[in-house]
Amino acid sequence: MSYNFLDKIYKSNSYSTSKDLYQKWAPSYDDELTENKYVTPLRCAQILSNYIKNKNIKILDIGCGTGLSGFALKKNGFKSIDGLDLSEEMLKIAEQKKIYQSLFNFDLNNPTDFNHKYDAIIAAGVISPTHANPHTIISSYSMLKKKGLMIFSINDHALNDSLFFSSINKIIQNSNFILLDQIYGDHIKELNLKSSIFVLQKSC
């Protein structure tokens, strides 16, 4: 098993370091995560499919990377998917897969105007202390249509960071999101790492 970049990502202690690592990781990202059985994108897509039967809804894949979540969404029958990521190198690979209708190079930690609206947003493996911060949840609210769903994961490393997890809970409690579900399960099987997937609905 190869843990080359996975090990580096989980040892990263800053957002800028993580961003640089993702740029370098892009060519081998799919192979390494597939080898280590990264299942959170498929879990998120299946959960969305359980909540929404209309496969023509418009979906935004936040932190889409090379397109693993987009592929999982497509496998579950969803057709209209846009992707957003901060890594230009990751987006180049995602574009080659022809899964997404549109791709955006965008940093949610430094948001600017983003005027697109979606029925659902997926953020698999994105929100963590050294990746997208908890305020990504707030940023996502304005991107959702009325009653839209946001589905995001928090892995064990972030769940065990009491300050980080507390900030997640406070944001959810003080937002106009309704927490529909929180499901704990596998994240990266070969690392014995798990994650909680949160299902939020925009209240109005």
pLDDT (mean) for 145-150: 95
For the chain, the domains span 4-202
Tell me which DSSP letter residue 56 carries. T
- Residue 190 predicted with pLDDT over 80: yes
- Residue 3 predicted with pLDDT over 60: no
Specify the pLDDT at position 40: 97
What secondary structure does DSSP assign to 152-177, as a single string?
Answer: EEEEHHHHT-HHHHHHHHHHHHHSSE
- Which residue bears the tokens 């994108």? 41
Q: Answer whether 196's CB lies under 8 Å from 182's CB.
A: yes
> What angle in degrees, to the nearest 10, is found between the helix axes of 15-25 and 88-97?
40
Q: Give the tens place of pLDDT for each residue, 27-80.
A: 999 999 999 999 999 999 999 999 999 999 999 999 999 999 999 999 999 999
Specify the pLDDT at position 195: 96
Specify the pLDDT at position 175: 86
How buried is 122 (Cβ within 10 angstroms: 0-12 exposed, 13-18 middle, 19+ buried)? buried
pLDDT grade, residue 98 (50/70/90)?
A: very high
pLDDT (mean) for 190-199: 95
Q: Give the tens place of pLDDT for each residue, 164-179.
A: 889 898 988 888 899 9
Cα–Cα distance for residue pair 132/63, rounded to 1 Å: 8
Q: Which numeric CATH code is attached to 4-202?
A: 3.40.50.150
Q: Which of 99-108, 112-121, 134-143 is modeled with the greatest confidence?
A: 99-108
Tell me which DSSP letter residue 113 carries. -
Specify the pLDDT at position 4: 79
